[in-house]
Structure 1
Amino acid sequence: MAFKALVREVQAHLQEILDDPSQRLNEKLLESVDGQVTETILESDRDAILNKLSGLLPTLQQDPTPVTNLIDRLISPQRYTFSRVLSINPPVDFLAGLAAPSPAINLTTLCLLEKAKFRPSDIGIVAGKVDVVGALVKLWLCAQDTAVAGRAHDVILGLLLPEAMVPGSIGLVEGGFMWRRLLRDRDIYGSIFSICSLTTTGQDSQPSKRDKTVAQARLLDMLLRIDGEPVRTSQIPEIERQYGVSDGGLLHFAAIHMVDYKDDILMHVNLLEFYTMYLSAKPKTIPLSPTTNWTKASTFALEFLRKHGLHDRSLSYFFYPDDKDPVDLTFLYGRSANYLGTWCSVYPKDFLGQPTMVNAILNRLMSALQIVSTGQWAQGRAPKDDLHVLACLPRMTLLPRGQSLSPLGFVPVRPANEDALRTLAYVFNGSQDTTLEMAGQENAAARALYYFYMANSPNFWRDVVSAAETVALKDTAMAALSVMAAVITAHWGSLPSTMTSNSPFALPTEEELANKCGAPSLPATGIETIMTEPAIGVVVPYLIKPAQTFSNLVGGGRGDVDSAAYKVAVAKHDTLIHLHEMMKQWVGNHPEAQEMLATVGRRVAQGPMGGSSEIGGRIGTMEL
């Protein structure tokens, strides 16, 4: 149907419904106005249809979804501005649209409001509609439909942080119209507290306790996105004091006073996850005095959590599991471990500045990993939360010292376990972000950890290859391949020639590492260690061998195993590509390896399933 004819037919149909609201909507006709039509339609026709749709909604006696969908399509082009939304006749009743019991109408009203986020003057117009902003906040916190609540969240966020802005960049200053409305309007600011506070449960027009916890979760999520001075500081002290906040603002209320974490385990989980995400946000430096200890007050997030006891409370479920309720521990141990891992990863210097706590964590990991039986590892029952913490620790803390052992030594390569293998791969690979302040130390420690581990696991590479060849256990096989790739592409650094630090976590010297490993010297790079014994006689032949298949299995129904075999073959080929790329750099100093490089290159060219069974055997006997 030609565009013009289609537009005329739609307009005529909408007029019929306006004249007789009991008539059925022609859904197929309305759906035919697709994106191509809405991009090419004359603006006068667009406005005419929108005017009819606006007049239709208040009297419509059937499901409004076809109408709201058409409105959404018509206003979707970015050139359709908020000024044009305001010109729709009859005027859009934003308040009624937000309060309507229909999610479809709610979503369309939000779509119309969102048009304001592109211009500060339009944001000011929305912020000036006090009742509309109040209804928008209520919809965000109280909507039963999660899609509606999510879209309301996005609209508020867009009005607070217009495009090209960053969190905290405008605040309560000229131009921050929506900030002022939310945080300085007594009714709206107070409504956020009253809706989310459990102290108002049972009062008139207040949500149920269950619905309040939903609102609490939504507020925590929003605070992660708008963190900055406006929510960190007091705005209306009288309102804040009513809800237990004596010195602070919305952040203090939500993070400290809002949640009944002792009696609501699910909200306690939510709160712990909030602390973790808050801690992992981009550090925002706080003002420091000449006497400030940088390792204890490097960012606002960490200082805030520490100052209010939230840091220690978040760690306690990992440190002191024996003191906790077993039911609580089921939900909170992993979250506590995740918080700890985030702290170690985001603030490694702060973490290393507290050696007593570091040693306590190492001892805790030793205890947790030592009691895992061989059968548990073999059955895939790995202590995942403890492995996560281990992987997040600065690598220099994992180095064995004197007679003390490293918890990394209790992470086995045999029996093969997916989580254990991926942990080893991550630790051995080093830090991929070379811009980090401690990247050099991390990469030197990664190399040392690999050789310390190898010194106690002479069959390491044979066990890794054995796991990779067990294609029926796809995830474990792919984890074993990740170990190979991690060492091949390792980001390793050099150890110092002499001791340069008195820190309990100082790196060993090169000579000390070599002596402990019983070798005069050790390869400096991952590719170099792969191209020497014991790896070269095991890893390279395996990677060059043709991929395994399940064609010799008896019986039918091989779809899943064949799929597993192919996925492992692709991962194996990807690892071979890494080997080939690293060999091309390494072979410049080893011209005798040109033949091997050519052989690896030919196997790469054959793809995941190609190759000759003779190639792997030849590689194993080549001499460099």
Structure 2
Amino acid sequence: MAFQALVREVQAHLQEVLDDPSKGLNEKLLESVDGQVTGPSSASPSSYSKANFSQETILESDRDALLNKLSGLLPTLQQDPTPVTNLINRLISPQRYTFSRVLSINPPVDFLAGLTAPSPPINLTTLYLLEKAKFRPSDIGIVAGKADVVGVLVKLWLCAQDTAVAGRAHDVILGLLLPEAMVQGSIGLVEGGLMWRRLLRDKDIYGSIFSICSLSTAGQDRQPSKRDKTVAQARLLDMLLRIDSEPVRTSQIPEIEWQYGVSDGGLLHFAAIHMVDYKDDVLMHVNLLEFYTMYLSTKYKTIPLNPITNDAKASTLALEFLRKHGLHDRSLSYFFYPDDKDPVDLTFLYGRSANYLGTWCSVYPKDFLGHPTMVKATLNRLMSALQIVTTGQWAQGRAPKDDFHVLASLPRMTLLPRGQAPSPLVFVPARPANEDAFKTLAYVFNGNQDTISEMAGQENAAARALYYFYMANSPNFWRDVVSAAETVAIKGTAMAALSVMAAVITAHWAPLPNTSNSNSPFALPTEGEVANKCGAPSLPASGIEAIMTEPAISVVVPYLIKPAQTFSNLVGGGRGDVDSAAYKVAVAKHDTLIHLYEMLKRWVGNHPEAQEMLATVGRRVAQGPMGGSSEIGGRIGTMEL
């Protein structure tokens, strides 16, 4: 059937249903035109298949006529509206279909009825129509002028039982706020941004956010249940991460804020400090800790320069807010003082607290280093946590992952041994082989890849020192790593062992200082001090040089050059999951070999004696992951536990 004729047939069918609402929709007919209308969505053009480009282009007059029919049909429809809403969504999907055209649909779109309808498909389509306004400031102003619509939109975002509807309402609100934020800037948002003013200066709407999310109103008329309020709380916290700016940090309507316990501040203070009953609701406490962690990571909002000293604070508005209100210390307490906490709560909160600490260390390393007592407490806590892990637990793959996360997040200079105090890194074993232990060592040894970071040089020098200190403490380190890599039946551990090799081969190391800076509690050791402690006259300067010297060269390089293991000599061929694991390990091994080859090419210029090794490695690289394995035969590596 010709496309235009199909459009005419659909129009006629819609008119029949309009005239007789009891008449059933011809879903196949609507789906046929839906599937042939072009117009990739502006929000996600790539989501449409290439087949769409061969579909028919509907005439704009027909598009408008169909939308008029569909708009008139929805209010009277007595059956599942999904075929109708799907076609509407398709017809309005091109970005060129503007909000002005949405407003020209006849009969006019009843946004209020669409948002309050007890039908998720209708809610979603209405939200899709509203979202068209985000592309033009004038259209955002039109939506902001509809107080009743914005009020229902807010309630839909916070209270909708259908998560798809709530998520779309969130996206619509965000889409209407952010363009104004980009134009107005943070300070002038409430005065210049019409949507911001509607949300934060309209007493009914602003008050509804507080009343819906506050547990103090639970049980009152037209209020969500306590469970639904906690869902609304989570949605508000998620939104605040995206719209964090001056308006949500400052008071907007004091009489409303005071009513909910906020005496100094705005929506952020309510949500972060007063809203959640964290003492009696551990799951919301988890949500709150995750919010603090994500909020803490917004480093781009840096505290302005001190006008007197002209020094920039190594902090942000987020960190200052959390610290000022005691939220920073409270978030850390579950990591530092686990014995003081309820064991059930600790099960949920210890990892979140560790993640918060890790974020503080990695995002604000200078601020963390500025609290030496906290640094010492962190190191002591890590050593306590790592020392109690038994050999059997390491062998069974049970590792303190949360503590590893903190360890890997610390500035590397804090991990260096000081006086009689060992580095917590010595309690991370290479044997028994443990996947998480290898991943942690790989991350620490590789160094800081962020070359822009002002601490990158110190971090990379510390990474080098830590590697040599670890080697001095574990002389069989590389043999243990290679043994784990050969145990291909335990794929995760084998892959992690290979990551250790790759990390050292490609390490971002820097030289240590020649003289000591004893004024700093976290000063780097000198080159001579590290060499003396390691019992060597000098130490290789780079990762590739470390690999090309003993003990690594006699263990790591032969392993990487050796053909990959297979299971072809097993009865029945050894095919299946294990063989798949063997292939994946072989690919990872080959990738590591490529790293070795690339680094050797750079290194060999100053070390011509390595030309033969470079040629050997190059030949093995050319053979591919499984090259030469058929001649060697396979074997299953076993691990001595």
User: CA separation of 1:511/1:251 partners in 2, compared to 1, >3 Å: closer, same or farther?
Assistant: same
- Partners of 1:265 and 1:546 in 2: CA distance: 52
Paired residue for 1:310? 327
Moved more, 600-609 or 50-59: 600-609
- Once the 2 structures are TM-superposed, how far is the Cα of residue 25 of structure 1 from its aligned partner? 1.6
Using the size of structure 1 for normalisation, the TM-score is 0.96
Contact 1:545 1:613 (8 Å CA) reproduced = no
CA distances 1:30-65 after superposition (whole Å, capped 9, x unpaired): 222346523711100000000000011011111101
User: CA separation of 1:319/1:292 partners in 2, compared to 1, >3 Å: closer, same or farther?
Assistant: farther
Contact 1:168 1:228 (8 Å CA) reproduced = no
Aligned length: 624
- Partners of 2:436 and 2:168 in 1: CA distance: 37
- Once the 2 structures are TM-superposed, how far is the Cα of residue 582 of structure 1 from its aligned partner? 0.9
- Once the 2 structures are TM-superposed, how far is the Cα of residue 555 of structure 1 from its aligned partner? 5.7
User: CA separation of 1:182/1:15 partners in 2, compared to 1, >3 Å: closer, same or farther?
Assistant: same
CA distances 1:305-330 after superposition (whole Å, capped 9, x unpaired): 00000000000000000000000000
User: CA separation of 1:49/1:213 partners in 2, compared to 1, >3 Å: closer, same or farther?
Assistant: same
CA distances 1:130-177 after superposition (whole Å, capped 9, x unpaired): 000000000000000111101100000000002993996475256411
Contact 2:566 2:629 (8 Å CA) reproduced = no
- Once the 2 structures are TM-superposed, how far is the Cα of residue 23 of structure 1 from its aligned partner? 2.0
User: CA separation of 1:323/1:264 partners in 2, compared to 1, >3 Å: closer, same or farther?
Assistant: same
- Once the 2 structures are TM-superposed, how far is the Cα of residue 609 of structure 1 from its aligned partner? 1.2
Contact 1:544 1:615 (8 Å CA) reproduced = no
- Partners of 1:141 and 1:429 in 2: CA distance: 45
- Partners of 1:269 and 1:623 in 2: CA distance: 40
User: CA separation of 1:130/1:34 partners in 2, compared to 1, >3 Å: closer, same or farther?
Assistant: same
- Partners of 1:521 and 1:532 in 2: CA distance: 12
- Once the 2 structures are TM-superposed, how far is the Cα of residue 287 of structure 1 from its aligned partner? 3.9
- Partners of 1:620 and 1:132 in 2: CA distance: 66
- Partners of 1:98 and 1:484 in 2: CA distance: 57
User: CA separation of 1:160/1:366 partners in 2, compared to 1, >3 Å: closer, same or farther?
Assistant: same
Contact 1:106 1:148 (8 Å CA) reproduced = yes
Moved more, 587-596 or 340-349: 587-596
User: CA separation of 1:618/1:586 partners in 2, compared to 1, >3 Å: closer, same or farther?
Assistant: farther
- Partners of 2:432 and 2:541 in 1: CA distance: 29
CA distances 1:425-460 after superposition (whole Å, capped 9, x unpaired): 000000111101111110110000000000111111
Contact 2:181 2:193 (8 Å CA) reproduced = no
Paired residue for 1:392? 409
User: CA separation of 1:619/1:151 partners in 2, compared to 1, >3 Å: closer, same or farther?
Assistant: closer
User: CA separation of 1:283/1:616 partners in 2, compared to 1, >3 Å: closer, same or farther?
Assistant: farther
User: CA separation of 1:610/1:138 partners in 2, compared to 1, >3 Å: closer, same or farther?
Assistant: same
Contact 1:338 1:385 (8 Å CA) reproduced = yes
- Partners of 2:210 and 2:369 in 1: CA distance: 38
- Partners of 2:125 and 2:213 in 1: CA distance: 26
User: CA separation of 1:4/1:67 partners in 2, compared to 1, >3 Å: closer, same or farther?
Assistant: same
State percent identity of aligned pairs: 91
Using the size of structure 2 for normalisation, the TM-score is 0.93
User: CA separation of 1:620/1:216 partners in 2, compared to 1, >3 Å: closer, same or farther?
Assistant: closer
- Once the 2 structures are TM-superposed, how far is the Cα of residue 414 of structure 1 from its aligned partner? 0.5
User: CA separation of 1:436/1:412 partners in 2, compared to 1, >3 Å: closer, same or farther?
Assistant: same
- Once the 2 structures are TM-superposed, how far is the Cα of residue 114 of structure 1 from its aligned partner? 0.3
- Partners of 1:352 and 1:407 in 2: CA distance: 17
- Partners of 2:161 and 2:635 in 1: CA distance: 66
Paired residue for 2:49? none
- Partners of 1:6 and 1:586 in 2: CA distance: 69
- Once the 2 structures are TM-superposed, how far is the Cα of residue 554 of structure 1 from its aligned partner? 3.6
Pairing 1:169–2:169 present: no
- Once the 2 structures are TM-superposed, how far is the Cα of residue 342 of structure 1 from its aligned partner? 0.3
Paired residue for 2:381? 364
- Once the 2 structures are TM-superposed, how far is the Cα of residue 297 of structure 1 from its aligned partner? 6.5
User: CA separation of 1:235/1:500 partners in 2, compared to 1, >3 Å: closer, same or farther?
Assistant: same
SS at the partner of 1:217?
helix
Contact 2:620 2:627 (8 Å CA) reproduced = yes
- Partners of 2:114 and 2:640 in 1: CA distance: 78
Instruction: Note the 1:108-507 alignment, pairs <5 A.
Output: 108-162=125-179, 165=182, 169=186, 171-172=188-189, 175-287=192-304, 289=306, 298-507=315-524
- Once the 2 structures are TM-superposed, how far is the Cα of residue 281 of structure 1 from its aligned partner? 1.5
- Once the 2 structures are TM-superposed, how far is the Cα of residue 552 of structure 1 from its aligned partner? 2.8
- Once the 2 structures are TM-superposed, how far is the Cα of residue 597 of structure 1 from its aligned partner? 1.2
- Once the 2 structures are TM-superposed, how far is the Cα of residue 551 of structure 1 from its aligned partner? 2.2
Contact 2:303 2:313 (8 Å CA) reproduced = no
- Once the 2 structures are TM-superposed, how far is the Cα of residue 78 of structure 1 from its aligned partner? 0.5
CA distances 1:83-132 after superposition (whole Å, capped 9, x unpaired): 00000001001001111111101100000000000000000000000000
User: CA separation of 1:154/1:226 partners in 2, compared to 1, >3 Å: closer, same or farther?
Assistant: same
- Once the 2 structures are TM-superposed, how far is the Cα of residue 237 of structure 1 from its aligned partner? 0.4
Moved more, 389-398 or 571-580: 571-580
User: CA separation of 1:452/1:265 partners in 2, compared to 1, >3 Å: closer, same or farther?
Assistant: same
Contact 1:231 1:251 (8 Å CA) reproduced = yes
